[in-house]
Chains A and B, each alone.
Chain A
Amino acid sequence: MNRMLLVEDDEFACSALRELFEENGWQVVVAENGIEAMRHMTQISFEVIVTDVFMPEMDGVELVRQIRLTDKTQKILAISGGGAGMGSDKAVDIIEAIGADAALQKPLRNEELLLAVDRLTAA
């Protein structure tokens, strides 16, 4: 079974996305922020990481930066709702520049999200 790490601090978004991916054949491990995600990554390997951008403690930008220090091939999809003083487009640009393989703006329809994950894992 394909294993995915879902990093999302919003409780409702996290549970809905988890359900969506599990319904579509993914084994989903959930992390609330970058620190928790890094902890999971030391124990398990994941085919893809889907991460939010704005999160407390360690945000998605820092998470991607940390991962890329040691792993250049890990598939990473960033999804951002935008943040105070920063439009979503800008957040998406930044995280792609840092090293995410793809970045999309929330909210996303299921087909958009699943297609992005499929493309990433097929590549």
Chain B
Amino acid sequence: MPRFTVVKLFSKQYALAVAVLCVFFSPLLRAQDQFPFHLESTNSTDRIRIAVAPFKPQSADPATAGYKNTFDTTLFADLSAAGIFDIVSKSLLPQSSPGNQSEMNLAQWSAAPASAAMIAFGNLSTQNGHIVVNGFLDDAKNTQFPQVFVKQYNEEASDDQARQIAHRFADEIIARLGGGGVGIAETKIYYVKQTGENKEIWEMDYDGANQHALTHLGTVSMSPRISPDNSRLAFSSLGRDGFQIKMFSLLLNRVINFPAAGGTNVSPAWAPNGNQIAFSSSRTGDPEIWTADANGSIARRITSFRGPDVSPVWNPKTGGQIAWISGRTGLPQLYIMDADGSGVQRMTDGGYATSPSWSPNGQFLAFAWDRRYGPGAPGGQDIYVMEITTKKWIQLTHDSGRCDFPSWSPDGRHIVFANTPDGKGAHTRIMTMLVDGTQRRALTGSGADMPNWSWK
């Protein structure tokens, strides 16, 4: 009898010790399963150090100074936002800015404090109502053949065109120095803008400038998706028959025909070849993923489980896979499957996952995820990126309110998403960041939601 007591006591202590050990090691266990994978090195020493000289105005026209300011500001912002350059601070630049190759003194720019490896410079003038920009890129380390390229741009004189020229020049620099990456300075972002009761589809430049409305339907429209050739915009809109897929032509600047069907039809997605569309439709009673060709015919159902299936997105690299959100096991989870509906694979192990976006190289999925979903649960909805082959993930946003609707930039280096600092829907704004979560900044004020980055 006394021996039993001792054994019982020991087992109690043992259980306590095990419990303490579990509590102590649980962060380590968790840290192991979220071991960060190598996304992209953002070590600044790897980056090319580039100096952006203020362009030299070459005409005395008073408007030139304004265009020059717009151009310089946009070019500097584009190259800083690219995330691949180490930009020389403006205060470290030499005082004289060269206007063309013969005025360039490389030693001045390659020496400290500028220590630039590359120099972007040039001149800007206004002639007969046209802006003419000559842009140069020089390799400061190559004294023998410094010139990398020279470009001339000639556009109608306006502040907007000065910005567009700067975007094109920045894209040209990124294409030459980005190691295969394309520039995104000319890309657009399509989003939903709340105007009073209604929600319309709007468009803006990638840096948040030039925001303007596309649709004027006077109803609730959501989830805009731009086609790979940037000619059509698919979205879902509330009409007499409930939510239906609508198609907007950017070339004709009006809504074009797309067949309506029964039930709720939402969240369209373009296949990378532009010939197919996937969307969620409840025409059979249960929201399932359907595919159709680009004008809405030959609709086929590709999921058939009980429970909602929404938010499809194609693998933009191969076009052979679809990732989507399914509620077949209760809370919505992230799944991938082949484009014909076979090979279903569950990606998330719990929580509340929504709105996937597939990275342009096909390697990663970005999505919004509330890992501890439920009343009183800590944390909240944040943006995560998952490597598909290993299912390892990293969290990109922390403690900045609800984040949703991530969308990859075509260069795979940026993610745009919707963020609500205080959780109120009316205060949703669109933000952008690099894929490692740095350089986060807001592009719009409140009232903007569901961004979608154009393909190129």
Q: Are A and B a genuine interacting pair, yes or no? A: no
Q: Which residues of A contact B (CB under 8 A)?
A: none
Q: Which residues of B contact A (CB under 8 A)?
A: none
